[in-house]
Amino acid sequence: MTSGWSITQGSTTVFLPTAPRVIADANPVKIDELGVEGAGSVLVSRFNQARKLKLQGSIYVSGSSNSTLESTYLSPLRVMARQIVTITDPDSQFNGNWVMGEPDFQREAEGASVRYTYTLEFLQANTAIVLGSGPTNSDDNLEGNYTTWTFKWTKNIGTITSNASKSLYAPYVSNNGSVIFQTATGNNGVVFITSSGTATYDGNKHDSAYNVYPGIKTESIFGSYYVCFGKNATAYKHTFYVFKNLAALFNRDVTSDDSQLNTNNGVAMIAVSSNGKYICIISNDSSGYWNYVSLYEGSL
């Protein structure tokens, strides 16, 4: 159920389930009043101030729990506060980029039914500059609110480097899902893989392993997310775990859940991005070389 109203920031879009009941659109101007002796008052119209848009309405979806409303609507809208967002409405009257203010939600519950009333405020001007951006769900340096991670791709680095006996070291994954790591055994080099899986190998230029990222990042920037790997019920080191605020949040058996992933001898290394959205693992091939790199992407 959607109303035709949507608010987008980065890769996140919130579709309002019902249309706003109040839409206030104001475009104030800056006017100064000057007192001129013998001539009375003089009005000086300086410039248009930022256009202001206020939406008031309700968030209610029949049969949806409070936790569902929170994760689908409230939490993403809070993250968008102080950011440049894109509004789309059924009449295209307010389509465009706006700076979103802090949303206000009021919970109303009756029995098993939960409904929220909201007030959303936006500003629009010729130019908007956002300083000290808060967390988003994509390319930010702060931590997002991710709860599950799904397989995105895996690469055989032996194929990329044309050397099946190379092993991988020191993986690093960025907030946009790009991965970089060191190769060793033979001529050392660096492999860079974009979030879409395009790989580039820079070989024969580096003398020793571990000289790109000496430490493997296993926690997010503020330490909310922590990743590690270990054994499952039947195989050693085939499961990776995600903890949030020291509580177990998520685990995945890469052998049973990801049949396309080669984990003959288990997971060898793991790293997480600063915002907690991306997890990179390195696993062994059938010969024992750390040759496979795989990416997992978090979602709300």
pLDDT tens track for 108-127: 877 678 999 999 999 987 76
Ordered by start, the domain boundaries in the chain are 6-124, 148-299
- Cα distances from 210 to residues 24, 159, 184, 214, in angstroms, run 58, 21, 9, 5
Pick from 163, 161, 267, 172: which is nearest to 211 by CA? 172
* Helices marked H in 102-203: 157-161
> Quick check: helix, strand or coil at residue 95?
coil
Does residue 238 carry a pLDDT above 80? no
Contact 53, 39 (CB under 8 A): no
- What top-level class would CATH report for the domain 6-124? mainly beta
CA dist., res. 259 & res. 4, Å (int) = 40
Greater confidence, 103 or 1?
103
Nearest-5° Cα angle at 171, 169 to 176: 160
pLDDT tens-digit profile of 54-71? Answer: 999 999 998 888 889 999
Helices (H) and strands (E) in the chain, counts: 3, 21
pLDDT tens-digit profile of 103-112? Answer: 999 998 776 7
* % the chain with pLDDT above 70: 71
CA dist., res. 290 & res. 167, Å (int) = 5
Phi/psi of residue 161, nearest 5 degrees? -95, 0
Could you give the strand order of the β-sheet that contains 167-173, starting from the edge strand earlier in sequence? 167-173, 179-184, 188-193, 199-206
Report the b/e string of 16-31 with b at 16+ CB within 10 A: bbeebeeeeeeeeeee
Highest mean pLDDT among 18-27, 163-172, 200-209: 18-27
Least reliable range by pLDDT among 75-79, 119-123, 158-162: 158-162
**What's the alpha-carbon Rg for the chain, to the nearest Å?**
26
* Helices marked H in the chain: 66-69, 75-79, 157-161
**Residue where the block lists tokens 């055989």:** 156
Greater confidence, 255 or 166?
255
Specify the pLDDT at position 201.
76
Q: Residue 169: is it exposed, middle or buried by C-beta count within 10 angstroms (0-12/13-18/19+)? A: buried
End-to-end CA distance of the chain: 19
